[in-house]
Amino acid sequence: MAIYEFNGKSPKIGKGTWVAQSAEIIGDVKIGKKCWIGPGAVIRGDFGSIVIDDETAVEDGVIIHSAGMVHINKRVTIGHMAMIHNATIEEYVVIGMSTTVCDNAVVGAWSIVAEHSLVKKNQTVKAYSIYAGIPAEKKSSLEQRHKDYMIWGKQIYVDLAARYLSSLKRIDSAP
C-alpha cells in the first residue's frame, strides 16, 4: 500500500484494518478499526481532513478527497468507483457503485444511495431513506428487510478484512 505523509500529517490506520497494496492514503487521514480498503482506492487528505470510522468498507476504485472535512461514520459501505468529496456520511449507509457525493452533502444514517446517483452540493439525504438518480431523489423509505440485509452485508466486509489480513498471499513473485 502507498501511505504518504503530507505537510507534516500522516495517515493513521486502526487495528484489524486491511488496505490493498494498490490503495493510496495521503496526509490527514484517520481510518478506524476493522475497515476494508479496496484495490485502487484513493483517500487523499491533502487540503483537509478525512475520518473513516470503524468497520467501514471502501471498495475498489473509490476516491475520497476533502477540501475541508470528510467524515464517514461506522459501518458504511462505499461501492466500487464511487466518489466522496468534502461530505458527511452517517452510520450504516450504503453508497452505490459509481455514485458521486458532492461538497457539503450529508447522507443520513441507515440510508441507501443507489448506483450511479449524484448527491449534489449541499444536499441532504434523509435518514432511513432510499435515494436514486441524477440528481438523487427520495424513492422510498427504508424497511426492516433493507436493514437486515445491510447489517448482513456490512458484517461480510468486517469478516473479509480479517480474512485478508490472515490469508491473502501474493503468489506472482519468486520467494
What is the band of 175 on the pLDDT scale with cuts at 50, 70, 90? low
> Chain centroid to CA 111: how far?
14
Altogether, the residues listed in the chain come to a count of 175
Report the mean per-residue pLDDT for the chain. 96
Exposed e or buried b per residue across 28-60, where buried means at least 16 C-beta atoms within 10 angstroms of its C-beta: bbebbbbbbbbebbbbbbbeeebbbbbbbbbbb
Average pLDDT, stretch 147-166? 95
Of 64, 70, 23, which Cα lies nearest the Cα of 50?
70
Q: What percent of the chain has pLDDT over 90?
A: 96
Query: Which residues are 31's β-sheet partners?
Result: 13, 52
What is the band of 133 on the pLDDT scale with cuts at 50, 70, 90? very high
- Residue 170 is predicted with a pLDDT of 87
- So where are the chain's domains? 2-165
| Rounded Cα gap, residues 116 and 70, in angstroms | 20
Answer whether CATH 2.40.10.10 is correct for domain 2-165. no
Q: What percent of the chain has pLDDT over 70?
A: 99
Q: Residues 110-122: pLDDT tens digits? A: 999 999 999 999 9
Whether residue 174 is predicted with pLDDT greater than 80 in this model: the reply is: no
Q: Residues 32-86: pLDDT tens digits? A: 999 999 999 999 999 999 999 999 999 999 999 999 999 999 999 999 999 999 9
| Rounded Cα gap, residues 139 and 136, in angstroms | 9
pTM: 0.95
